[in-house]
Structures are given as C-alpha cells and as structure tokens.
C-alpha cells in the first residue's frame, strides 16, 4: 500500500526519539533511534492517506473520533515533531495553505463564542478558582495553580506601574479577575471588554459581589470600536487576547492601543508567540480557535516603532505555560466523566489532545509566552529599575 | 542671502522648544514657541550654506573649530531635533547617503584604534576607576558612577547565570573589568578579546595584579576569527561592542556567537539601538566612531531566530545611559585643561559636543540602550523567574 510506504519512509528519517505504530492489520513497527515516546494505533486504513495530505487535521480528527489511539503521553507527538523538524519537514511541510484570514470584525464575536462560550461550569472544572485562562506565573514549580495565577495577576499589575485613580483598560478581560484585582489593590478605574457573553455575565456578577461595580465596568465590545468613543486610558493591558486578533489585523490593534493611551502611558501585552512566522495549524483553526493566529515575536517587534510604541521590557515565560497547561490537563483528565456528560466522548478527546498538544508545544519550545511592556512615546515617569517588581 | 533665508524658513517651523541665533553681522533671531534652549553664535557666513547641505557634520566641525559657539546646554541641539522631527525633517532629511559600510575585517582594527587607543590616561580622566566605558546601571540617580558601574557589571553577570567552572567569552572586553570580576566572583574561566592595543595591555596588567592570569586570558583578536579555533563557551557576553560590528555584518556576529556557544548556552548582548533603522550620523562616522553603526532593535530581533538564538529577556536601559553620560560629561568638563594639554582645544570641543550629544540622545529618546538575554536553542536550565537578579 503506497500511502503506508510513504508514511514509513518519512518516519524512518527520525533523528531523535521514536514511536511505535500498530496498524489495523496488526503490523507493528517502531521508528527512531531512541525508546518510543508513545504507541500510535491506527485502526482505519483511510487515516494513513489522509495523514499524508493534512497531518495535523487528520491526527486531531481521527483521535477525537477514535480512529486512532495513542498509548503513552499525548505530548510525545509534539516532542517528536520538535526534535525532528528537518526529518519531518516532508510530512509537516505539506501543511495546506490556509485561506486568507477569516478573522474580521464581523466574524470575531462568533469565533470567540465558539471557544469561550462553552460554559463557565466547563472552565470551572479545570481552571483555577479565578477562571484565569492564560499562562500563570510560578515562583516555583511547586506552586499551586491557584497561587501561580494570583502571582501572574500581581506580576502583570506590577509591570503596569499602576497608581491610584488611573484609568485602566483591559482588552479581552475574560472572567474579570485581573481587572477586579487591579481595582481592589491599586484603586484604579477599570474598563474591561470581551466578546463572550458568558465571560461578561460572570465578570459583572463578580464586580457586584466584590463591591466594585462603581469603579469597574465590563462591556461586550470589540476593541476596534473603542477609540472612536474618545475615552482615554493611562494604562492598557491585554492578556491572552492578542492570539485572537488575527493575521493581518495586528496593526489595527497597535493603532487602537496607541490612540487610546495617554502620552507616556504604559501598556502590557501578554501573548503566545512563535519564533518564526508560522501558518495556522489547520486542526486548531477548524476545531479549537477559529480565526486565531499566533504571530512571531519579531513581527510584533517590527510593527511597534511605527505605531509610536516603545519596548521597555520583554520576558519570555515559556516554561510557565508548560507548567500551567500540564496542571490544566491533569485537572481536565480528572473531570473526564463530567466533560463527557456536558458534551460527549469525542469532545473530551479533542480537548484532551488540544491541552496535551499545547503543554508539549511550550515544553519543547514550539511556541513561547511573551510579555511586553510598552510605553507610548518616551517617558521618564517609570522606576529606574525592575526591583519593585520582585519585592515581596 | 539665500542660505540664511532657507535656514530661517526651516527653523520657523519649530513646534516645540526654541533657539536663538546670533549671526556674524550681529543679526539676532529667536525661533520656536518656547523659551530658547540655547543660543547659537554663527561667526562665519560659510557655515550657513554648509549647514543646509550636511547639518550634522557642519555643526560638529564648526563647533570644534570655533566657527560656531553654543551658549547654554549643548544637549539643547538634540532636544530640539527630537522634539521637532517632522518640522526639521527638511533640514535633517538632507543627510547625505553614506557610502556602503567601510567596516570590514581589514578596517576594524584601525577603526577601533581611532577611538579606543586615544590613551588610557585620557579615559581615566572621566571614566570610573574600572574604566567601564559603557552604560552604567543606577539603582538610584544618586548612585556614584563608580557604584553604578559596579552594579552594571554585577547585573550583566547575573543575567548570564554563571556557574563555577564555566567558560565565558567576552567579545569586546575593553579594559577587562567585567571579565575579571566574573572570574573572581563566579570562578569562571574567561577569554576576553579586543582590537585595542591599549585596552589589551591594561587588561593583562590588571589580570596579573588581581592574580587571575591563570584563569583569564586577554587577546588582540577579531571575534570573527574565533569560531574556527574550535574553542566553545558556556556563556558569551558583549557589552558596548556591537555598535562597532558595522552595517551588514550583524549576521556574521550572530553566527559566530551561535557557533561558539554550547547548546542551551546563554549570551547577553548589551548595545545601543535605534527604534527605527537610521543612517549613520556623518559627523560621528567621520570623527568619533568610524565604521560604527547603531542598529534598530527590530533588526536585531528579526535576525535572531534564523541563527537559532532565542530571546529570553529584553530590557531597555535608556535612562541609565543618560545618567552615565551626564556624569562622564561633568567629569570631562572638569578636566578641560588636561584634555587640551593631551590633545588641543579643537579635540576638547569635539569630544565635549559628542558627550553632550550622546547624553541628550538618550535623555530625549533618540536612541536606547538594549540588553538582550538569549539562549542557544531551548533550555530549561535557567531559573524560572528573574527574582535572583534583584536580591541584595
């Protein structure tokens, strides 16, 4: 069978690691110079041909459907790919070109709903109690997820150099914890915008419960619609939203931030980045984050000066997202039965693969977590050193 | 007179700040909406025509020669230029295109000698006692230059995550203080390379005096010649040398660092950067730093991934260089008579203008001081957070 031969030929080029494949007919083959990371069971011959055409989409869909199974850590897939980039280029280089971004102002609300409106009770199963759905910040790998998320919020707020009475805009405010913490700790006035109904409802309820409704507003709004309102901010923060801005829309984001920020104002951008410009993964694009796009760090850097935004500080928190995701995955797997009851087995497997994939992507350096501190224009109104960010 | 009219027309577009010009014939004019930052005395009519052709070179040479004089802070020149970029574009936009870089392996030693072999006793007049000729790191603006330079060395060494026994390469080791401190504090083995005879002699003497000659070598060598020797390093540092690499040579620098660094190794790059790609200043290129070139931050960022170097940390220390240079300038001006005795009045004025120009360029944000922490490939062998960099 031609397709099987092509697949085994590609895998025979592995230079590190290894895997075992058990085919539908019982044929078992092991590839690679090292101990196999996992065993792939291919139950259906059609999978192989499909793998050669669109490896990522096929793996994702066939795993969800149960047409393939993986014994051993799901993270092994990404690890193998990262460690054998040139050997597997042939296989992964066949990534079909995506159609031009479908991420437009019109599509964004639907795209966000696809992911974030799955139900607050779903996210509550495996996120921390604050529902902080972005990379945590671990002072030590032994930190609990709860305390690492508190550290993260504290850290981002320190990087913003907030002062009482300032106006803070949170673009992509999620379930609201960061903005509410800022208002409580730094006595700032906050506006948080999201495109998710469920996040909005939760955040508003939390603001009321914490007695902050007079100082913090949450709105269902697209950041692109904000500048024309004329409201200006001393500080702007965005944590884990930039991945949804979409290819080709980044300049619009920077421009919006520039236009809404006062001169000398500070903005913190927290986003996943690639080392190099990388096409969207077709499986993630179709099933997980429609319209999303992970830019490269250098694309971001290249665009900033033209928008009058000056880089003050950059930190790569890659290992922290590997820790965060590993803990999300552990919790998610512990709640298998609840997830299946909420959705179905297929959904459970799809998201299990996705959380595993993401864990591994950070652990093995396929992607990074980047935190940028930027100022609008030149300012000397910030501390001379970072020391205050690290005081207990 | 046509040239004078063109100059006054250009200056009448000032949108911020101001200056007064007193012409050779006593004609006095004030430009700009604010209190003049300084008074420019033009003693020679030929200066004006020349200003319109090559403003920077003319100002520099005419000031050194005494054909113009500036009353008030010399920093006012840069300030005015920074604050009126669009208004003065006409004047400064006429910057003549420089010939293609003359910075080649053959020219580099001579170019370095032009600046750094002016005499150790000259630099000792106005640098700190360690002769640390790069941006210091002030915990507070009240720090002395001596302690700020000690902080800087300590800080850079922290960012390198040194461990006893490691091999550290210092590219552009200057008078040797950083490498000798690293060997003393962290028990590393060091190689420092410079292209300045006088720096080399001083560094070797200091190594002997501090009893470190068995662990630290200094050599007169071009970094480009090092990789072929086959010596490999756990850490590579370069402080204030990258500005001499020259336009078009940056990839060669990254490649050399990549080739000499072990997998997972760390390198710290400390360099002046622009926000945007900017042509060399003709006066600085001719008189101060022949062959040098200040790259943009985004040029550096763009090149790193292709050389397998991953950005872990970036810090913009712009205000620190403004403080450092202001102190160098104060000390330099205090030693006016010694400088004139060593060289002449023209040299004294030229370097006074240069130190003033640089002070202002950092203070008003025309340039930045960038510190990059990079790793070769993915490594988890570094601390999870920056906390250890900020412990007393």
Written as tens digits, the pLDDT of chain A (392 aa) is 688 998 999 899 999 999 999 999 999 999 999 999 999 999 999 999 998 888 889 999 999 999 999 999 999 999 998 899 888 877 766 555 555 456 777 788 888 878 887 888 999 999 999 999 999 999 999 999 999 999 999 999 999 999 999 999 999 999 999 999 999 999 999 999 999 999 999 999 999 999 999 999 999 999 999 999 999 999 999 999 999 998 888 999 999 999 999 999 999 999 999 999 988 888 988 888 888 899 999 999 999 999 999 999 999 999 999 999 999 999 999 999 999 999 999 999 999 999 999 999 999 999 999 999 999 999 999 999 999 999 98
Residue B175 belongs to domain with CATH number: 3.40.50.150
CB atoms within 10 A of CB A14: 18
Instruction: Give CA separation, A28 vs A45, A59, A65, in Å.
Output: 14, 19, 22
Chain A and chain B share a number of CB contacts under 8 A equal to 96
Q: Which residue of B has its CA nearest to A274?
A: B305
Distance CA B148, CA B130 (A): 11
Q: Which of A141, A278, A315 to mutate to test the interface with B (most CBs of B within 10 A)?
A: A315
Closest Cα to residue B191, out of B175, B164, B209, B173? Answer: B173
Q: With respect to residue B99, please indicate whether it lies within any of the assigned structural domains.
A: no
Q: Which residue of B has its CA nearest to A138?
A: B384
Task: Give B-chain residues touching A297 at CB under 8 angstroms.
Answer: 301, 305, 311
Residues A347-374 as b or e (16 or more Cβ within 10 Å = b): bbbbbbbbbbbbbbbbbbbbbbbbbbbb
Is the pLDDT at B172 greater than 90? The verdict is yes
Q: With respect to residue A67, please indicate whether it lies within any of the assigned structural domains.
A: yes
My answer on whether B70 and B124 are in the same domain is: no
Both structure tokens of A214: 């007079």
CB atoms within 10 A of CB A71: 13
My answer on whether B38 and B175 are in the same domain is: no
Residue B25 belongs to domain with CATH number: 3.30.1050.10
Is the pLDDT at B19 greater than 90? The verdict is yes
- Please name the residue ranges forming H helices in chain B: 2-11, 46-53, 55-65, 76-83, 85-92, 105-116, 120-126, 145-159, 177-186, 197-209, 250-260, 282-283, 297-303, 318-334, 336-342, 345-363
pLDDT in tens, B143-170: 999 999 999 999 999 999 999 999 999 9
Is the pLDDT at B15 greater than 80? The verdict is yes
My answer on whether B112 and B165 are in the same domain is: yes
Task: Give A-chain residues touching B321 at CB under 8 angstroms.
Answer: none
Q: Which residue of A has its CA nearest to B314?
A: A314
Q: Contact A164/A187 with Cβ under 8 angstroms? A: yes
My answer on whether A153 and A81 are in the same domain is: no
Please give the backbone phi and psi of residue B200, each rounded to the nearest 5 degrees, phi first.
Answer: -55, -50
Task: Give A-chain residues touching B137 at CB under 8 angstroms.
Answer: 385
At which of B70, B92, B114 does a domain end? B92
Find the domain containing B235 and state its range. 106-390
My answer on whether A162 and A213 are in the same domain is: yes
pLDDT, greater one: A174 or B53: A174
pLDDT of residue A320: 98
Contact A316 B310 (CB under 8 A): yes
pLDDT of residue B94: 55
Is the pLDDT at B314 greater than 60? The verdict is yes
Tell me how close the Cα of B297 comes to any Cα of chain A, in angstroms: 8
Q: With respect to residue A343, please indicate whether it lies within any of the assigned structural domains.
A: yes
Distance CA B19, CA B9 (A): 14
Contact B313 A314 (CB under 8 A): yes
Contact B386 A390 (CB under 8 A): yes
Q: Which residue of A has its CA nearest to B152?
A: A385
My answer on whether B36 and B135 are in the same domain is: no
Task: Give B-chain residues touching A314 at CB under 8 angstroms.
Answer: 311, 313-315
Q: With respect to residue A100, please indicate whether it lies within any of the assigned structural domains.
A: no
**Chain A interface, Cβ < 8 Å to B:** 137-141, 275-276, 296-298, 301-302, 304-306, 310-316, 318-320, 364-365, 368, 377-378, 380, 384-387, 389-390
Contact A298 B297 (CB under 8 A): no
pLDDT in tens, B332-349: 999 999 999 999 999 999
At which of B92, B119, B140 does a domain end? B92
Q: With respect to residue B98, please indicate whether it lies within any of the assigned structural domains.
A: no
Q: With respect to residue B147, please indicate whether it lies within any of the assigned structural domains.
A: yes
Q: With respect to residue A208, please indicate whether it lies within any of the assigned structural domains.
A: yes
Distance CA B280, CA B294 (A): 7
My answer on whether A65 and A130 are in the same domain is: no
Q: Which residue of B has its CA nearest to A377?
A: B365
My answer on whether B40 and B164 are in the same domain is: no
Task: Give B-chain residues touching A263 at CB under 8 angstroms.
Answer: none
Task: Give B-chain residues touching A83 at CB under 8 angstroms.
Answer: none
Direct distance between the N- and C-terminal alpha carbons of chain B, in angstroms, rounded to an integer: 64
At which of B43, B66, B92 does a domain end? B92
Contact A316 B312 (CB under 8 A): yes
Lowest mean pLDDT among B85-89, B96-100, B177-181: B96-100
**Helix, coil or strand: residue B237:** strand
Please give the backbone phi and psi of residue B245, each rounded to the nearest 5 degrees, phi first.
Answer: -60, -35
Both structure tokens of B364: 């008003």
Is the pLDDT at B44 greater than 70? The verdict is yes
My answer on whether B247 and B122 are in the same domain is: yes
Q: With respect to residue A101, please indicate whether it lies within any of the assigned structural domains.
A: no
As a whole number, mean pLDDT of residues B257-271 equals: 98
My answer on whether A259 and A194 are in the same domain is: yes
pLDDT of residue A93: 61
Distance CA A240, CA A196 (A): 14
Direct distance between the N- and C-terminal alpha carbons of chain A, in angstroms, rounded to an integer: 64
pLDDT of residue A279: 87
> What is the count of structural domains for chain B?
2
Q: Which residue of B has its CA nearest to A140?
A: B384
My answer on whether A49 and A188 are in the same domain is: no
My answer on whether A21 and A169 are in the same domain is: no
């Amino acid at each position: 069978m031609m397709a099987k031969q092509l697949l085994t030929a590609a895998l025979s080029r592995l230079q590190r690691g290894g895997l075992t494949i058990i085919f539908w007919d019982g044929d078992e083959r092991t590839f690679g110079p090292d101990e196999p990371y996992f065993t792939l069971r291919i139950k259906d011959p059609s999978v192989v041909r499909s793998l050669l055409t669109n490896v990522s989409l096929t793996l994702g869909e066939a795993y969800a459907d149960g047409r393939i199974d993986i014994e051993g850590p799901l993270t092994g897939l990404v690890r193998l790919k990262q460690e054998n980039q040139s050997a597997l280029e042939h296989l992964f280089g066949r990534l079909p070109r995506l159609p031009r971004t479908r991420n437009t102002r019109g599509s964004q609300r639907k795209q966000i709903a696809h992911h974030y409106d799955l139900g607050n009770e779903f996210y509550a199963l495996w996120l921390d109690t604050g529902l902080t759905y972005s990379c945590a910040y671990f002072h030590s790998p032994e930190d609990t997820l709860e305390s690492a998320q508190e550290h993260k919020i504290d850290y981002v707020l320190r990087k913003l150099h907030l002062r009482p009475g300032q106006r803070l805009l949170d673009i992509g405010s999620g379930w609201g914890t960061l903005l509410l913490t800022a208002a409580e700790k730094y006595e700032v006035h906050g506006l948080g915008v999201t495109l998710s109904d469920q996040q909005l409802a939760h955040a508003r309820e939390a603001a009321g419960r914490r007695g902050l409704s007079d100082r913090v507003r949450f709105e269902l709004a697209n950041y692109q619609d904000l500048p024309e309102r004329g409201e200006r901010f001393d500080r702007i923060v965005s944590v884990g939203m930039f991945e949804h801005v979409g290819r080709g829309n980044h300049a619009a984001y920077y421009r919006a931030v520039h236009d809404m920020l006062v001169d000398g104002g500070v903005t913190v951008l927290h986003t996943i980045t690639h080392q190099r410009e990388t096409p969207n993964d077709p499986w993630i694009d179709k099933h997980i984050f429609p319209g999303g796009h992970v830019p490269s760090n250098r694309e971001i850097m290249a665009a900033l000066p033209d928008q009058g935004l000056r880089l003050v500080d950059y930190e790569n928190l890659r290992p922290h997202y590997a820790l965060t995701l590993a803990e999300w995955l552990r919790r998610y797997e512990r709640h298998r039965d609840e997830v299946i009851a909420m959705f179905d087995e297929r959904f459970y497997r799809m998201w299990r693969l996705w959380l595993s994939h993401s864990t591994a992507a950070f652990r093995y350096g396929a992607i990074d977590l980047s935190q940028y501190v930027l100022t609008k224009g030149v300012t000397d109104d910030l501390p001379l050193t970072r020391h205050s960010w690290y005081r207990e």
